[in-house]
C-alpha cells in the first residue's frame, strides 16, 4: 500500500465504527500488508477498536471440494439477513505455490449476497500462511465486528490444516458434506468430524432425498461413537438444499441452540479466552520466524547452509541449530 493511499488512524476508526464498507475494506488491506509502517498502524487500529469487538457469532464453514460451500453460504446468508442480521463473510482462496496468485472468486460465486447492503464479503488469499487461512484473518474478523456485523462467517480452503486453524478462531464449526458420493465415511478424517459442531448435508435436491436420509443416519451413528465433547455438546446432522430453499432455518436454530448452551455452561467465554491466548502465542511464533529470516546474518549464511544440506555435507538438524546460534550471537 502506497503511503498516499493510507488514511489516518482516526479516519480508519471513525469509518469502521460508522459501518463504512469502503473504509472497512481499506482497513483489511492495511492489516494484510507486509509493510512495517502498515503493520504499526494496523496494530494501533486494532487496539483502538478492540473494545467494540467480540459481540458477533463467529462461524467457521468447511467441506470437501464440490460440496457447494459458497452456494450454501449465500443461501444461508440471505436467510440470516431476512431475519434482520448483518453478516460478514471472510472467504479464503488458496494461493498458487508457484506464482502466489489467487482466484479470489467468491464475490462472483456469491453474486446476490455481495450486492446486499447488510452483507460484506471479503476474499483473501492464503499466501504462505499455514492452515488454509489468510495471515490476518483474526484481525479482519475483529474489524468486521467493530463495523457492526453480527455474524461472521469464515469459509476455509478445506485442505490441509485449515480445519484446525479455523476451529481455533470461531464459536461454531460447521462441516458440509455431500450425499450419494459413494461410501459416506470413506476418506473422511476422523479428526475433522470430531471438530465439527454440526454436519450439514448439502445439495439435497429432488431425487436425492433417499441418499441424503441414508447419509444423515450414517453420520449420526458415527458421531455417537466419538468421545463426548468437553463442552457437553453432541454434534447434530441436518439437510440443506439451496435450490429447494430448505435447511437454513434448521441450521440457524441449531447454531442458536449451541450458542445458548455454551453460554449457560460457561464454555463460550472459556473458548474465546483460550483462543485469545493461542492467538498471542501464534503471533509470537510468526514474529520470530519473520525476524529470523530477515536478519542480515541469516540472509548471508542461509544459501550456504541450504547447499550443504542439499549435498548431504550436513544434516538438517545440525544446520538449523548452527543457523540459530548465528542468529542469537
Cα–Cα distances (Å) from 197 to 37, 234, 251, in that order, read: 40, 8, 11
Please tell me the distance from the alpha carbon of residue 223 to that of residue 218, in angstroms, as a whole number.
9
Residues with Cβ within 8 Å of residue 230, at least 6 apart in sequence:
267
Same domain, 189 and 99: yes
What element of type H or E holds 1?
none
Beta bridge partners of 202: 178
Residue 38 neighbours by CB distance under 10 Å: 17
Q: Looking at the domain assignment, is residue 272 inside a domain? A: no
Q: Say whether 283 sits in a helix, a strand or coil.
A: helix
Q: Looking at the domain assignment, is residue 170 inside a domain? A: yes
Q: Give the strands of the sheet with 57-63, arranged side by side.
A: 119-125, 87-93, 151-155, 57-63, 172-178, 198-202, 236-239
Same domain, 122 and 61: yes
Instruction: Choose among 143, 144, 146, 99: nearest CA to 125.
Output: 99
Q: Looking at the domain assignment, is residue 163 inside a domain? A: yes
pLDDT of residue 162: 65
The CATH number of residue 219's host domain is 3.40.50.300
Same domain, 28 and 126: no
Same domain, 63 and 31: no
Same domain, 255 and 122: yes
Same domain, 45 and 67: no
Domain final position from 264, 295, 311: 264
pLDDT of residue 161: 58
Q: Looking at the domain assignment, is residue 128 inside a domain? A: yes
State CA 299 to chain mean position distance. 32
Q: Looking at the domain assignment, is residue 176 inside a domain? A: yes
Q: Looking at the domain assignment, is residue 271 inside a domain? A: no
Same domain, 15 and 103: no
DSSP 125-164: E-TT-TTSS-TTHHHHHHHHHHTT-SEEEEE---STTHHH
The single-letter DSSP state of residue 51 is G
Residues with Cβ within 8 Å of residue 303, at least 6 apart in sequence:
none
Same domain, 11 and 114: no
Domain that holds residue 15: 1-52
Same domain, 119 and 257: yes
Same domain, 5 and 146: no
Same domain, 137 and 13: no
Q: Looking at the domain assignment, is residue 59 inside a domain? A: yes
Number of domains in the chain: 3
Same domain, 102 and 185: yes
| Tens place of pLDDT per residue across the chain (329 aa) | 445 578 999 999 999 999 999 999 999 999 988 888 998 999 999 999 999 999 999 999 988 778 889 899 999 999 999 999 999 999 876 543 333 434 444 555 688 898 999 999 998 765 544 443 456 889 999 999 999 999 999 998 765 556 778 888 999 999 998 886 544 444 556 677 888 999 999 988 877 888 888 889 988 888 888 888 889 999 999 999 988 888 999 999 999 999 999 999 999 999 999 999 998 998 899 889 989 999 999 999 999 999 999 999 999 999 999 999 999 98
pLDDT in tens, 104-149: 445 556 888 989 999 999 987 655 444 434 568 899 999 999 999 9
Amino acid at each position: 500500500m502506497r503511503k498516499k493511499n493510507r488514511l489516518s488512524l482516526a479516519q480508519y476508526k471513525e469509518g469502521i465504527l460508522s459501518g463504512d464498507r469502503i473504509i472497512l475494506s481499506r482497513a483489511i488491506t492495511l492489516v494484510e500488508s507486509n509493510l512495517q509502517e502498515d503493520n504499526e498502524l494496523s496494530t494501533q487500529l486494532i487496539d483502538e477498536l478492540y473494545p467494540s469487538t467480540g459481540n458477533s457469532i463467529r462461524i467457521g464453514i468447511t467441506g470437501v471440494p464440490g460440496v457447494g460451500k459458497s452456494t450454501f453460504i449465500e443461501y444461508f446468508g440471505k436467510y440470516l439477513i431476512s431475519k434482520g442480521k448483518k453478516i460478514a463473510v471472510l472467504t479464503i482462496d488458496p494461493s498458487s505455490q508457484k506464482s502466489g496468485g489467487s482466484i479470489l472468486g467468491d464475490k462472483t460465486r456469491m453474486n446476490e449476497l455481495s450486492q446486499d447492503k447488510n452483507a460484506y464479503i471479503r476474499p483473501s488469499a492464503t499466501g504462505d500462511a499455514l492452515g488454509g487461512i489468510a495471515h490476518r484473518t483474526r484481525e479482519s474478523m475483529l474489524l468486521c465486528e467493530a463495523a457492526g456485523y453480527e455474524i461472521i462467517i469464515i469459509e476455509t480452503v478445506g485442505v490441509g490444516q485449515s480445519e484446525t486453524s479455523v476451529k481455533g478462531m470461531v464459536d461454531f464449526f460447521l462441516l458440509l458434506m455431500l450425499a450419494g458420493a459413494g461410501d459416506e465415511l470413506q476418506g473422511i478424517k476422523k479428526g475433522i468430524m470430531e471438530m465439527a459442531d454440526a454436519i450439514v448435508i448439502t445439495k439435497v435436491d429432488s431425487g436425492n432425498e433417499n441418499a441424503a436420509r441414508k447419509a444423515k443416519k450414517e453420520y449420526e451413528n458415527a458421531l455417537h461413537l466419538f468421545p463426548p465433547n468437553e463442552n457437553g455438546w453432541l454434534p447434530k446432522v441436518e439437510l440443506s438444499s439451496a435450490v429447494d430453499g430448505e435447511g437454513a432455518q434448521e441450521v440457524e436454530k441449531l447454531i442458536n441452540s449451541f450458542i445458548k448452551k455454551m453460554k449457560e455452561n460457561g464454555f463460550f467465554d472459556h473458548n474465546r479466552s483460550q483462543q485469545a491466548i493461542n492467538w498471542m502465542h501464534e503471533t509470537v511464533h510468526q514474529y520470530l520466524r519473520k525476524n529470523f529470516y530477515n536478519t542480515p546474518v541469516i540472509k548471508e549464511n542461509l544459501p550456504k547452509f541450504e547447499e550443504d544440506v542439499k549435498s548431504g555435507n550436513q544434516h538438517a538438524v545440525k544446520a538449523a541449530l548452527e543457523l540459530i546460534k548465528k542468529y542469537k550471537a
